[in-house]
């Protein structure tokens, strides 16, 4: 005698979530994201993915926003005003490493029109934190951080977008990248000295604010 058939389980576990989409996109990398690639990584059809994300541009924007949300922006314990320069160096290094680790993310962070509300809220919260930590105005903190981040991201994106494309191999390529990073760091340190001097003499109040923070 056959045992009675078990009733089929209704429904199925949800396999497409925002977090899983972001994880798959981060693993693939923003420059290489396609609907088919992300769908394959999730084990679903690309048509199923379309039901959750309407376009490739929105898919990339979603992934970029998640990358930014996971970035641990360096915090400050506060201290004398003189410590602000040291903090900005630490911040700039974190920005450089962030861009290096996530090729293609810069346009989504550097342009306000591409930034999401949570991204902007995180940026504003960081600006307020630095203003309180060093006893400067929110406007001064916004300008300092936006200027350093904007230029550091733009230059780092250029440096790392060409890294590995030079007609060299092995140790020569590593040496080339190391040399470029040294020049990048020196340039950013010069920028930091300049923006602090401009803030102290009030010059920044006459300058247009960079479009990112």
Question: Are residue 99 and residue 195 in the same domain, yes or no?
Answer: yes
Domain hosting residue 192, numbered range: 74-206
Question: Are residue 98 and residue 59 in the same domain, yes or no?
Answer: no
pLDDT at 168: 53
The model carries a pTM of: 0.82
Instruction: Compute the average pLDDT of residues 38-59.
Output: 92
Output the domain CATH number for residue 62.
1.10.10
pLDDT at 3: 46
Mean pLDDT score of the chain: 85
DSSP states along 170-193 = THHHHHHHHHHHHHHHHHHHHHHH
Is the pLDDT score of 211 beyond 70?
no
Q: Work out how many domains the chain is built from and give that number.
A: 2
Mind listing the pLDDT tens digit for each residue in 79-111?
888 899 999 999 999 999 999 999 999 999 888
Stretch among 112-121, 155-164, 204-213 having the lowest mean pLDDT: 204-213
Question: Cβ(211)–Cβ(110) under 8 Å?
Answer: yes
The label of the residue with tokens 């020569």 reads 172
Per the model's pLDDT, the better-predicted residue between 211 and 100 turns out to be 100
Question: Are residue 88 and residue 180 in the same domain, yes or no?
Answer: yes
Q: How many CA atoms lie within 13 A of 111 on its CB side?
A: 9
pLDDT at 159: 85
Residue 156 belongs to a domain:
yes
Question: Are residue 61 and residue 79 in the same domain, yes or no?
Answer: no
Question: Are residue 87 and residue 39 in the same domain, yes or no?
Answer: no
Question: Are residue 34 and residue 97 in the same domain, yes or no?
Answer: no
Residue 200 belongs to a domain:
yes
pLDDT at 1: 42
Residues ≥6 apart with Cβ < 8 Å to 67 = 22, 26, 30, 102, 105
pLDDT at 126: 96
Residue 197 belongs to a domain:
yes
Residue 5 belongs to a domain:
no
pLDDT at 91: 97
């Amino acid at each position: 005698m056959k045992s009675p058939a078990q009733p089929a389980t209704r429904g199925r576990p949800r396999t497409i979530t925002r977090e899983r989409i972001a994880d798959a996109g981060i693993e693939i990398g923003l420059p290489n994201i396609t609907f088919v690639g992300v769908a394959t990584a999730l084990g679903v059809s690309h048509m199923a993915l379309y039901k959750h994300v309407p376009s490739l541009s929105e898919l990339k924007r979603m992934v970029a926003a998640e990358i930014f949300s996971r970035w641990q922006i360096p915090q400050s314990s506060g201290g004398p005003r003189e410590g602000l320069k040291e903090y900005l160096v630490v911040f700039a290094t974190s920005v450089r490493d962030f861009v290096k680790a996530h090729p293609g993310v810069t346009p989504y962070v550097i342009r306000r029109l591409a930034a999401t509300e949570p991204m902007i809220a995180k940026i504003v919260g960081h600006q307020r934190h630095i203003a309180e930590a060093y006893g400067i105005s929110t406007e001064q903190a916004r300008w300092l951080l936006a200027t350093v981040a904007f230029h550091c991201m733009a230059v780092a994106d250029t440096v790392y977008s060409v890294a590995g494309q030079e007609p060299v191999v092995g140790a020569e390529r590593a040496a080339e990248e190391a040399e470029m990073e040294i020049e990048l760091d020196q340039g950013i340190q010069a920028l930091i000295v300049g923006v602090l001097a401009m803030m102290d003499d009030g010059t920044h109040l006459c300058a247009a604010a960079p479009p990112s923070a």
